[in-house]
Structure formats: structure tokens, C-alpha cells
Chains A and B, each alone.
Chain A
Amino acid sequence: MTILVIAEHDNKVLAPATLNTVAAAAKIGGDIHVLVAGQGAGAVAEAAAKIAGVAKVLVADNAAYAHQLPENVAPLVAELGAGYSHILAAATSNGKNILPRVAAQLDVDQISEIISVESADTFKRPIYAGNAIATVQSTAAVKVITVRATGFDPVAAEGGSAAVEAVAAAHDAGKSSFVGEELAKSDRPELTAAKIVVSGGRGMQNGDNFKHLYALADKLGAAVGASRAAVDAGFVPNDMQVGQTGKIVAPQLYIAVGISGAIQHLAGMKDSKVIVAINKDEEAPIFQVADYGLVADLFEAVPELEKLV
């Protein structure tokens, strides 16, 4: 068995979710190869070669792969991946975009967002916003799988010494082109990888009030998230949304401030180790999953919390 892991990167830095994906591959067992498809991604390939447990790194360096356009990357992955037992990618926006296209090209069903490996062909994944866990078996010759990063502890980023091999295959479907992107700038830790996450909901009342959460987050070295209500109301940008349709997080500590705790929000954070809820409504559903609940006005409690930690 040989497993192909698709590296998640921005041509400069290897994303941490790749390490969780390699961890899932290690649980399946077999040789692990990592594919770095991009342009000028030499540093990413070097970083991938150092990952513990990786046997080989394949580098496809081509202008067509610069922005991870699925029309170009999927044929590459399908062509290379046809000889592997498994193809794995992190369940990031890139992984979700590209991998189903690969699966369809290989004419196999995909298994999305696995949270555990039961055996080489059997996996667990959440369905219905995490309200049920399905055990799914794949009989496909090539098993195409996306991995939920929070389900697997990352492997060590150092310690490996894999061989790096260039791949010549160039696919340019000519169906799509990159126009531009607008990335949110933040000095805080990345939401999906942070040890502590402080999230605000509709109870924050406006975007300006999020400064209270930023101050608390900076003191704790935490990332800041939000509920859909806070995003829809325009308090904060979309990429801060935690939930079924936003980001899935599982930090050591999740502090939910002014968040009622709808099913769709809980889907994104209920695997956190410790959950704290601060809400003035003692009937809020969030208290049913919170390890520590504080019924209080957030505008008094959050500044006080910031002072005391």
C-alpha cells in the first residue's frame, strides 16, 4: 500500500493541516508520498521532505498549478494517484475544491472529512452537522479521502529525510483563470490551529465591540472566531466563522461569548477540550455543552476576564 498525500500550501509555506493529513495516512499504514503541486514551491517541497514518516516528495512545478485551480490540479492528481491505494488531502477549502474532482475522474466515491481510521478501508465521519457519526467502508481501488485536521494529532514537522522527485506532467485545461484574491490580515494564531479560541456571536452587538475579544485573545495568545450571526451582521469577515459551514476547530479551550449555541455552530467547536460559555441568557443551548458556564453580561465579564488572566 502506498498513500499519496496532497500538500496544502501557498507556494511559500507548508500549511500545518498537511501534518494532520500525514498522521491520518500513518494510521492507514504503508509508504507515504507527498505531492507538492504549485509554482516556485521549492521551500514547500523541502519542508515536506522533512515531515516524519514521509518516504517521497513529488514536486509538480508549473504555472498552471500556481493558484491550485482544480481544473488543472485534479487531472494531475488523478493521473499520479491512479497507482496509489489512497489519495488524501486536508479538508481545507483547497482540499474540498480539488479532491471530489479527482474522485470523479477516477470514477470512485469520495469519503469526506474523516475523523478516524478504523482500518485501511473503513473510516468514521460526522454527518448531519456532527449529530451522527457514520462508519463508512470503501471498496474503491483508489480510496479518495479528505481529512478533518482536528481528528488527528499532527506528526512531527522535522525528522524525516524523504527524496524529492520532480514530476513533469503539465495539465492546463484552459477552462479557468485566477483573477485575484483578498486575504484577511491577522497577527493572531490561525483559527484552525490555535490552542485557544475566543468567539463572539450576535450578543457582541456590533463589530467595534469585538475589540473586547481581541484584547482578551491577545492576552491568551488565542485566535478569534465568530458565529454565523456575527458574520451575517457584518461584525467580522466570513473567514472567522466557526461551524458546519465555516471552520471546524478543536482547541484546548474554546470561549463562546454572546453565542446561543445553534446546532450549526456546535458542529464546528464541540470537540474542543474545554468549552466556556459567557451568556446572559441562562437558557441558551450553549450551556448544555459548556464545561464552565457564566451567566453574565459579556460587556462586564469579558474586560474583567481579560484583567484576571
Chain B
Amino acid sequence: MKVLVAVKRVVDYNVKVRVKADNSGVDLANVKMSMNPFCEIAVEEAVRLKEKGVATEIVVVSIGPSTAQEQLRTALALGADRAILVESAEDLTSLAVAKLLKAVVDKEQPSLVILGKQAIDSDNNQTGQMLAALSGYGQGTFASKVEVSGDNVAVTREIDGGAQTVSLKLPAIITTDLRLNEPRYASLPNIMKAKKKPLEVLTPDALGVSTASTNKTLKVEAPAARSAGIKVKSVAELVEKLKNEAKVI
């Protein structure tokens, strides 16, 4: 079966971002960019499904600027077979991305679509669910285990109180949680080979999708800073401060 994996180019998770002085957004000039960590987990899961003989082809798709080709090449080096970039310079909302992905799903007809549970820049946690709604497929969000058997996929999900398992009819949408797997690193030979794998570039217009949005970001500010704390010398002093100064115990 064919597996479609969506990946996003985001600021590297180790970077401490700064808000721009004019409050229009965060400063991403000259900041290290990477594949969103949850998307790495999604790629890894698809590659493992292929290694198990469940998946026959892995198509990786990204929606964003032309520089997102770097992240697609990374996914190809990790084991994806071919890539699609839907090129768009503007900042798209989750709904717009879900609509574009729906158009790609219609074109590619995958049996399984795997996405990360959230992108670490917008922290939205929406796209997978929205794509499931638009395509009318079942959704297995926050997956920590995925087992395909016949026309169904059993997904174990991380929920607030523990874990839940649901069975979905294929085709289905899965979003990955941290514990699903440990992503591999790309080897140098595979990085070289990935340069020769096919990468198709499309546009929202070519897919016939409007990316208009009902959300508008008015401003972006730095969070309120915490006032500096103190270091205490002993446990006794700590307990005294908590009881008499902070009055929290």
C-alpha cells in the first residue's frame, strides 16, 4: 500500500526564538531550521512499515517555501521514495494546509497518511484532524503504536489518563506522538542517493485550493518574564521560605 507522509520545515527545537521588535512575529532570519520532530517520527514509522513489507511506496509531502526542499531531501534520505512540494511563500493556517493535503491525497490515493501530532512552531495540533475531516477518513491521533492488519489499522493513542486503542478502516489518518518510535539518522550514502530521487513541485493554484483564512495574527509578544529568584543554602531555609514568604505550604 501507498503511504503519504507530511513534513514541515520549522525552527530547530533547540533554538530559543526571539520576538521581533515590531511585534510582527518571531525572528527567523539566520536561525537554524529543521524537520519538525514529530514529522521525523512520522517518516520513521512509514519507513518501518515499508521494511515490514506493509507499505510499498512512501510519498513525502511538504507545504511551504522552496527551502522546504531541504526537509524533503532529508525524508528521502531516510527512506521515502519520492517527494512533493506544494510551494507557497505565505504563512498558511492549518486549515489551508489540510485543504492542500486533501488535494494531494485525492491525487495520490494513499491508504495511510501519517503526520506529526503538532508542529513545534505554531503548536496548533490541528492539521491531521482537519485532513481527516476533509477526506472523511478515520483518525488515529497521538499514536504510540500502529499495527496494520488487512483493511484496518489498530492505533494505540496517548490520552490524558493513559493509553487507548482504536481500530480504523483504511484509508486512515495517523498523527504521531513522541513515543511511537526513535527516528534513525540519514547515512551519507543515503543522503547522496536522495539527491537523485524525484521531487515534484506544485502550487496551491495548480491544485485548485484557496488558502484564504479566517484567522489573523494581530501581534506577537514576548511572554511576561519571571522576576529573578534566589538560591537558598539549605532545605531548612527552603521550607521556611515556602511557609512564611511564599505561603504555599
A, B in one complex: yes
Main secondary structure of the interface of B (DSSP, over half): mixed
Bound CA span A34–B231, Å: 47
Tell yes or no: A70 within 8 A of B by CB: yes
CB–CB B235/A301 < 8 A: yes
Contact residue range for chain B? 35 or more
Q: How far is the CA of A136 from the CA of B238 in the complex (A)?
A: 41
A61 at the interface (CB under 8 A from B): no
B123 within 8 A of A: yes
Name which residue of chain A comes closest to B122, CB basis: A127
Q: How far is the CB of A228 from chain B (nearest CB, A)?
A: 7
Cβ contact of B249, chosen from A103, A109, A232, A309, cutoff 8 A: A309
- CB contact under 8 A between A100 and B216, given known A127-B122, A180-B165: no
A184-B161, A239-B162, A290-B229 known; A137-B218 Cβ under 8 A: yes
Number of interface residues of A (CB under 8 A): 89
Given A112-B125, A176-B167, A196-B248, residue A293 in contact with residue B230 (CB < 8 A): yes
CB 8 Å contact bits of B137-173 with A (1 = contact, 0 = none): 1110110100000000010011111111111110010
Contacts A101-B132, A104-B129, A126-B123 given; does A132 touch B221 at CB 8 Å: yes
B65 → A minimal CB distance (Å): 18
For A134, the chain B residues whose CB sits under 8 A away are 217, 219-220
Known contacts A69-B166, A127-B123, A131-B16, A96 near B158 by CB under 8 Å: no
A interface SS class: mixed
Q: Are B232 and A292 closer than 8 Å at their CB atoms? A: yes
For B1-38 the 0/1 string (1 means CB < 8 A from A) is 00000000001011011010000001000000000000
What's the nearest-Cβ distance from chain A to residue B243, in Å?
8
- B133, B157, B164, B167: the one contacting A101 at CB < 8 Å is B133
Q: Which stretch of B49-57, B72-80, B93-101 is in the interface?
A: B93-101
Nearest residue (CB) in A for B159 is A93
Is the pair B130, A239 in contact by a Cβ cutoff of 8 Å?
no
Contacts of A287 in B (CB 8 A): 229, 231
Residues of B near any A CB (own CB < 8 A)? 11, 13-14, 16-17, 19, 26, 93-95, 98, 117-118, 120-134, 136-139, 141-142, 144, 154, 157-169, 172, 177-179, 213-223, 226, 229-232, 234-236, 238-239, 241-242, 246, 248-249
6 intermolecular pairs with C-beta atoms under 8 Å apart = A132-B223, A175-B137, A270-B223, A274-B246, A291-B226, A292-B232
